[in-house]
Amino acid sequence: MDFAGKNVFAKVDMNSSYDEKTGYFRDIEKILQAVRTVKFAFERGARSVIIASHQGDQGKNETLKNHVDAIKLHLPHAEIKFAGFRASLELPGLLGDNVVVVLENTRTDEEEWSFTDVKETKMYQMVKQVPELVFLKDDPASHRKELTTYHIPKTLKEEGFPVVIGPALQEDIELAAKVSNILEGTDSFAILGGKKLPDQLEILPQMLKKFPRMRAMLGGLFSVYIERALGKNVGDNEKMWKDEEKLIGAAKTMMSEFNGRIMLPKDYCMNSGFGFVCAPVESLHTGKVIDIGPDTILKYMETIGSAKNASVLINGATGFYEAAASISEPGMRGAAHVYSEAFDEKHGHIVMGFGGDSMAVFNRLGFKPHINSSSGKAFFKRVIYGPYYGLEWLKD
């Protein structure tokens, strides 16, 4: 589509892990994707580009102000403005030739996920004030039925406004179809960790159902939660999740249905309050989990090394990688060893990495997966349910 003279409202995903102590992002892959989205619009003649993105979880009110400096480095010939607001009728006054306006975090207002009528929201009313409007949807997270990522572009399309799929989203759609074909034709391992328990408990059973040649190896908070569901005393580790008791039943059902195809850690590296200790899973209650333990690392490495020409799918970290100062310390150690085995060329594995945390760990380790996407749950849902999952209304 030709964007000549248009003002492009670009919904992207710049949700990136920011280290308050150092003042640096742990990974800027998603910010660079947003830069590419802006370039995509300008190359097609856009007058100005408005960037909308979420940052962090609901209710945390994290700012996008830090993202603006990173964008400026990669778009030196454009005028970059930080709006300082999420939604305001002042937006049209900020637009101009070769201007990029970065809105504040879309999740700073609960109307993003709680509203009655799309057309009564502040965000919709602001977007409708943009003259010569084109909505460029380039965030892969279409599974989240939030206001700006789903309901507004869908409503605009129904009203006859141009709504266009951007380059990052188009690549994700095509890549999901490719990954699905690969997993159907190979033995595969899913190395899953991280802290998004509802997502992992929804995705993993569906992946195991669709791909009968897949086995899973768990780490991180995900594995600790499964142990809790199976009756283990996890001590103060329970404080790491909130309002997740409702998922206990789903975790038990998953382990019962797929017992034998899901591997859990045999031991963990924990902070006992007096230093790091490695202890068997029965001692989970004695400290705060930092990483999978040495016996588990060896077991996972042996499992990966015993296969040839398999697919290895990685999502989420095996440990608390943010706290590790080096790759040899607990938090990074598990990923360093297990991922190294997956990348060992003698096995001939196809290594695929998905989600922001996975990419941050890969970057620290110096690994480049054969296939990767910065999106996690959205990507997996496209692999499971079809590449246009959540986007059927945009398929044409």
CATH number of the domain that residue 54 is part of? 3.40.50.1260
In this structure, the answer to whether residues 362 and 329 fall within a common structural domain is yes
Last residue of a domain, one of 165, 184, 206: 165
Q: In the listed set 165, 197, 215, which residue is the last one of a domain according to the structure?
A: 165
Residues 197 and 322 both lie in one domain: yes
Q: What is the pLDDT of residue 142?
A: 60
Beta bridge partners of 189: 215, 312
Chain segment 355-396, per-residue pLDDT in tens:
778 888 888 899 999 998 777 777 888 899 988 888 888 887
Helices 333-343 and 294-305, packing angle to 10 deg:
10
Q: Is residue 25 part of a domain?
A: yes
Token pair 């499992």: residue = 303
Same domain? 232 vs 365: yes
Assess whether 191 and 281 both reside in one domain. Answer: yes
Report yes or no on 270 lying in a domain: yes
Same domain, 371 and 315: yes
Question: Is the same domain home to 233 and 306?
Answer: yes
Starting at the earlier edge strand, list the strands of the sheet with 133-137. Answer: 79-82, 99-102, 48-52, 7-11, 133-137, 163-165
- The domain in which residue 263 lies consists of 173-384
Residue 382 near residue 174 (C-beta atoms within 8 A)? no
| 196 and 336 co-located in one domain | yes
pTM of the model: 0.78
> Percentage of residues in the chain with pLDDT exceeding 70?
99
Rg value, the chain, Cα:
22
**In a shared domain, residues 154 and 181:** no
User: pLDDT tens digit string along 277-300?
Assistant: 999 999 999 999 999 999 999 999
- Helix, strand, coil percent content, the chain, rounded in steps of 5: 45, 20, 40
Span 195-243, pLDDT tens digits: 788 888 999 999 999 999 999 999 989 999 999 999 999 998 888 877 6
Overall average pLDDT of the 141-150 stretch: 80
Q: End of a domain among 121, 146, 165?
A: 165
The vertex-38 CA angle with 33 and 41, nearest 5°, equals: 125
CA atoms of 195 and 249, how far apart (whole Å): 18
Domain tally, the chain: 2
Is 2 inside any structural domain? Answer: no
Range in 27-36, 94-103, 252-261 the model is least confident about = 27-36
Same domain, 226 and 356: yes
In a domain, 211, yes or no: yes
Q: Are residue 249 and residue 372 in the same domain, yes or no?
A: yes
